[in-house]
Amino acid sequence: MKKRITILLAIFSIGSFSYSQEDITELFKAGTSNAEKLMHYYAEPLAHSLGNNMNSGWYNTGRAHGLGRFDIRFATPITFVSTDYQDFLFDESEYENLSLANTDKTTAKSPTIFGDNKEGPLLDFNGTEFELPPGTGISFLPLVPLVLQGNVGLVKDTELKFRYMPEVTTRDFSTSMYGFGLKHGLLQYIPVLEHLPMDISIIGTYTNLGASYSLDYNPQNNPDIDTHNQKLDLSASAYSVNLVSSVRLPIVTIYGGLRYMYSDLNLVTVGDYQIGLDVIKDPVDINMDNGQFGVNIGTRVKVGFISFFVDGTISNYSSITGGVSLGFHR
């Protein structure tokens, strides 16, 4: 029975959505090198969106916690995917023995994973015809479950940040995540501004996420292939550098800043797969990286030891983050 991959996407965000799509292993019908290129185009916006989420939600003020002060924070980033990244151009010249079927055209648009929920163009590979997979019809990516983050004040107006998600495992899927960061106040070096109701900090962060999803691809029922060893492995790293300022008002803090974000994601199909007449081990190994600048602005409302915050970031992959923090801090 053909396996389907649950979206959005079970592999990348523990999938809180019930949509599904054709198994991307169907792309093996295009041959190994062609399948790798097609998977890259199809999944690239997802890789960049995931990296964007991993770099979001790290702060809700430009002020570092005082020595020994702390809070625990829950946040959910959501990245929105523009129409520019909801499809890609299939160009015959990029592939080997792969062409559009039943047409005299050499190029056609096909959905990425965030594209329309309909199949892509019909292709022909050495007499075998198949359609490129549909998109999900969803143009945003949440990072679920909620990100759990702890923050504690150190000396010299410095704050340590850390994130951790223990391994979560279902029948076919597992994932885990961790990260850490540092915030350092800059106004201590500008005495004339130190007593104003504002703060300026620089923040550096790192996040690592790993995920694995079981596959089941043996269209020719080859007895030499053990489908129990087939899986899709993902490893992602994300880095950010932020220059953040904030203004303190009664109860409310308004914050914003400039951000540089970088992410690197590796996607590997592990195991043996029947591709054409050959059995190929670990046929797909894709690396997708992305760097982008963003402008961030948000607000925090603090009542006692509870704070609520929401902010947005404008960049190539824009996002919004909302959350709540509990703790004793200023």
Identify the domain containing residue 153 by its residue range. 5-328
Tens-place pLDDT, residues 265-310: 999 999 999 888 889 999 999 999 999 999 999 999 999 889 999 9
Q: 84: closest CA among 56, 109, 106, 105?
A: 109
* Overall number of domains in the chain: 1
Token pair of 21 as six digits: 């799509």
Token pair of 109 as six digits: 């648009």
Tell me how far apart the alpha carbons of residues 267 and 198 are, in angstroms, rounded to a whole number.
Answer: 43
Residue 145 confidence class, pLDDT cut points 50, 70, 90: low
Tens-place pLDDT, residues 236-263: 999 999 999 999 888 999 999 999 999 9
- For residues 47-75, give the mean pLDDT: 93
Q: Specify the residue for token string 């949509």.
A: 19
Amino acid identity for residue 196 in this structure: L
Token pair of 113 as six digits: 């994973």
- Contact of 66 with 330, CB cutoff 8 Å: yes
Dihedral pair phi/psi, residue 243, rounded to 5°: -110, 110
DSSP 3-state assignment of 217?
coil
pTM for this entry? 0.88
- Contact of 3 with 23, CB cutoff 8 Å: yes
Q: Specify the residue for token string 């914003």.
A: 256
Rg (CA), the chain: 23
